[in-house]
């Protein structure tokens, strides 16, 4: 793994430029794809779908890390709804995404990146502090006492 | 990276600078952001937009945003049609729909009509309203409309969700990436079809088999083996809706049928298939088996998702053949106002209503507050010929049973599934 090769406490991921402003936050990593319509209690921000990899976690204010997105066009409005009610994720990192998800993130002003190397889903852990810079497509993971 | 290399025309630069007003600036700003994200090189003019905006996913903030926009001066500059909605006002009381939702729906409709939308309330605009020609760029929202436009008509669209289709309607453009670009339209996955497909539901089942194994917007299945003469608009409609629902797919090719697939080689255009999916009769039977009956008695039979064509409504009336729907079972079909008017004049709607069936206009069943209706009527299971509805309705805690059209109508009459 890259993170072990140089410095076990710092890891950098790179990808194409994403959308949004730079920010720092705490990661919530899901090994399952995510749909804001079917996996989420949209009144609280809790991941509510039974058997989902991060069932019971709350995505409000977190940097959501997911392998892929699912669902139809619902995500286009859903993030704006979450943002206005103060329970949106702070940012989203996807292995792969689709237009609807990005349209929804852009409407809501939620930073989003995709196609990062190494794979964010396997190299970032829930609870990691991460810095996201969408303009340069850079994500830095700091893991103190890992 | 070439990602930020999105070039705008002089007029688009002016729009982005706010010279055509705040709303136009806001809309093109979103399009530029999305376009840059996906590496678009420019915006392309679109001839129409199709908008999904159901209250269930928009929520109050989405409605408030549209109402604010309606108070401004900007209006859609290309025809904007609307997708299936949540309420058929003539049936809302009979279906015990939440009055609060009905009221919000009226406010939403008023706002988008003020901005200039053509209120079609249909997810089958490509059958009833407008068929874009080969190579025509559009900005359509509902996934079923997009996959039909791309695949069957050879038109060009990405999934444009509510706000994105809205922005396209305001600017008359959309970012050129994804399925607007010829390279993205080439096949990636080969589907070897040997199954005999007859009923509409069989075509939906094909979509389920492929979509379950190929769940990625950027993949394009190439279906080889469809029998000449076996394919109709309604069959492609069910196939496409199902592929989009199970696989988030926006395009397929069908060799010898769709316009960019004169041959397997033409559909792949030099690419090697990264995966081969074989679909035989057993694979189709497995889809039906994956939605088994929880018991013989059927609470609800729903034909929807996509809305029914005139031909499908006629078929339902013929299958009922003068018989009545069972007293313990509800039978609901959905269509748009155009087909409803024609089917009423032709006697199909009166025949279905005489039998005790409900023909709903401008809606799709799962958008109607399906969980609330389930509780109020005590429904537990739902029988459908729509693979898409079977996929979605479990999320509203119905037990979905997926069968062929004739089996659905027979069960509505008998009140139970015939074995």
Instruction: Judge whether A64 lies within some domain.
Output: yes
Domain that includes residue A61, residue range? 26-127
B110 in the same domain as B90 = yes
Instruction: Judge whether A146 lies within some domain.
Output: no
Q: Are B159 and A98 in contact (CB under 8 A)?
A: yes
Note the pLDDT of residue B2. 43
Instruction: Judge whether A58 lies within some domain.
Output: yes
Q: What is the mean pLDDT, run by run of 10 residues, along chain B of 419 residues?
A: 75 98 96 97 98 83 92 94 96 94 93 96 97 98 96 98 95 98 98 97 98 94 94 98 95 98 96 96 98 97 98 98 98 98 98 98 94 96 98 92 98 93
Q: Is the pLDDT of residue A101 over 80?
A: yes
What letter would DSSP give residue B7?
Answer: -
Considering B219, B253, B288, which residue would you say is the last residue of a domain?
B288
* CATH code assigned at B140: 3.30.499.10
Measured in whole angstroms, the distance separating CA B111 from the mean position of its chain's CA atoms is 23
Considering B144, B160, B182, which residue would you say is the last residue of a domain?
B182
Instruction: Judge whether B271 lies within some domain.
Output: yes
Instruction: Judge whether A66 lies within some domain.
Output: yes
Check CB contact under 8 Å for B61 and A85. yes
Tell me which residue in B1, B58, B244 faces A16 most closely, judged by beta carbons.
B1
Which ipTM value was assigned to this complex?
A: 0.92
**A-to-B residue pairs, Cβ atoms closer than 8 angstroms:** 111
User: CB distance from B251 to chain A under 8 Å?
Assistant: no
Tell me which residue in A42, A98, A107 faces B30 most closely, judged by beta carbons.
A107
Q: How many domains does chain B have?
A: 3
Instruction: Judge whether A45 lies within some domain.
Output: yes
User: CB distance from B164 to chain A under 8 Å?
Assistant: yes
B277 in the same domain as B192 = yes
The least confident of A65-79, A112-126, B259-273, B282-296 is A65-79
B301 in the same domain as B233 = no
* CATH code assigned at B229: 3.40.1060
Tell me which residue in B34, B39, B58 faces A99 most closely, judged by beta carbons.
B34
Instruction: Judge whether B419 lies within some domain.
Output: no
Note the pLDDT of residue A145. 47
* Three-state secondary structure string covering A79-102: HHHHHHCCCCCCEEEECCCCHHHH
Residues of A within an 8 Å Cβ radius of B: 16-19, 33, 37-38, 42, 68-78, 80-81, 83-85, 96, 98-100, 102-104, 106-107, 112, 114, 137
* CATH code assigned at A67: 3.50.30.10
* A51: closest CA of chain B, how far (Å): 14
| Confidence grade of residue A3 (pLDDT, cut at 50, 70, 90) | very low
Mutate to test the interface with B, among A103, A114, A116 (most CBs of B within 10 A): A103
Q: What is the mean pLDDT of residues A96-121?
A: 96
Tell me which residue in B36, B65, B161 faces A73 most closely, judged by beta carbons.
B161
Q: Is the pLDDT of residue A2 over 80?
A: no
Instruction: Judge whether A34 lies within some domain.
Output: yes
DSSP conformation letters of B376-414:
HHT--EEEES-HHHHHHHGGGT-EEEE--HHHHHHHHHH
Domain that includes residue B337, residue range? 292-414
Note the pLDDT of residue B58. 83
| Confidence grade of residue A7 (pLDDT, cut at 50, 70, 90) | low
Report the residue of chain A nearest B212, measured CA to CA: A70
Q: What is the CA radius of gyration of chain A?
A: 14
B397 in the same domain as B381 = yes
The Cα-based distances of B181 to B42, B82, B158, B165, B255 in angstroms read 11, 25, 10, 18, 20
Q: How many domains does chain A have?
A: 1
Note the pLDDT of residue B109. 94
Enumerate residues 54 to 93 of chain B having a beta carbon within 8 A of any beta carbon in chain A. Answer: 57-62, 65
B302 in the same domain as B279 = no
Note the pLDDT of residue B96. 95
Note the pLDDT of residue B3. 45
Contacts of A37 in chain B (CB under 8 A): 57, 395
| Confidence grade of residue A10 (pLDDT, cut at 50, 70, 90) | confident
């Amino acid at each position: 793994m890259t993170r072990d090769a140089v410095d076990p406490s710092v890891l950098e991921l790179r990808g194409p430029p994403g959308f949004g402003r730079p920010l720092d936050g705490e990661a919530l990593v899901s090994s399952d794809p995510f749909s804001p319509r079917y996996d989420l209690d949209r009144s609280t921000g809790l991941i509510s779908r039974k058997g989902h990899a991060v069932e019971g976690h709350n995505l409000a204010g977190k940097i959501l890390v997911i392998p892929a997105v699912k669902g139809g066009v619902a995500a286009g409005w859903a993030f704006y709804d979450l943002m206005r009610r103060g329970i949106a994720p702070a940012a989203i990192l996807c292995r792969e995404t689709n237009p609807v998800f990005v349209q929804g993130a852009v409407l809501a002003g939620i930073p989003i990146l995709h196609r990062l190397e190494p794979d964010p889903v396997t190299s970032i852990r829930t609870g990691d502090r991460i810095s996201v810079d969408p303009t340069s497509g850079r994500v830095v993971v700091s893991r103190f006492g890992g | 990276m070439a990602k930020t290399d999105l070039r705008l025309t002089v007029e688009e630069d002016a729009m982005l600078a706010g010279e055509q007003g705040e709303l136009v600036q806001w809309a093109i700003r979103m399009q530029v952001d999305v376009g840059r994200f996906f590496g678009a090189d420019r915006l392309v003019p679109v001839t129409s937009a199709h908008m999904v905006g159901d209250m269930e996913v928009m929520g109050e903030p989405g409605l408030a945003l549209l109402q604010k926009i309606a108070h401004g001066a900007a209006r859609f500059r290309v025809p904007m049609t609307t997708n299936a909605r949540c309420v058929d006002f003539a049936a809302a009381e009979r279906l015990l729909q939440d009055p609060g939702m009905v009221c919000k729906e009226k406010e939403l409709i008023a706002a988008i009509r003020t901005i200039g939308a053509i209120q079609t309330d249909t997810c089958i605009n490509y059958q009833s309203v407008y068929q874009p020609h080969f190579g025509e760029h559009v900005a359509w929202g509902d996934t079923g409309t997009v996959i039909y436009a791309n695949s069957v008509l050879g038109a060009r669209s990405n999934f444009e969700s509510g706000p994105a289709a809205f922005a396209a309607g305001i600017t008359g453009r959309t970012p050129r990436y994804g399925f607007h670009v010829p390279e993205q339209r080439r096949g990636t996955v080969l589907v070897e079809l040997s199954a005999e497909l007859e009923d509409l539901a069989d075509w939906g089942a094909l979509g389920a088999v492929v979509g379950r194994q190929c769940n990625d917007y950027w993949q394009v299945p190439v279906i080889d083996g469809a029998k000449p003469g076996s394919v109709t608009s309604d069959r492609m409609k069910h196939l496409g809706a199902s592929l989009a629902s199970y696989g988030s797919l926006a395009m397929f090719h069908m060799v010898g049928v769709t316009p960019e697939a004169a041959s397997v080689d033409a559909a792949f255009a030099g690419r090697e298939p990264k995966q081969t999916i074989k679909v035989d009769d057993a694979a189709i039977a497995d889809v039906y088996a994956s939605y088994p009956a929880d018991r013989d008695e059927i609470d609800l039979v729903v034909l929807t998702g996509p809305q029914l064509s005139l031909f499908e409504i006629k078929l339902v009336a013929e299958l009922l053949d003068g018989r009545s729907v069972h007293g313990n079972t509800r039978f609901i079909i959905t269509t748009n106002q155009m087909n409803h008017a024609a089917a009423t004049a032709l006697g199909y709607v009166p025949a279905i209503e005489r039998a005790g069936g409900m023909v709903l206009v401008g809606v799709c069943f799962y958008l109607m507050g399906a969980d609330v209706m389930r509780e109020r009527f005590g429904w537990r299971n739902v029988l459908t010929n729509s693979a898409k509805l079977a996929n979605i309705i479990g999320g509203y805690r119905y037990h979905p049973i997926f069968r062929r059209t004739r089996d659905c109508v027979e069960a509505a009459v008998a009140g139970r599934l015939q074995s």
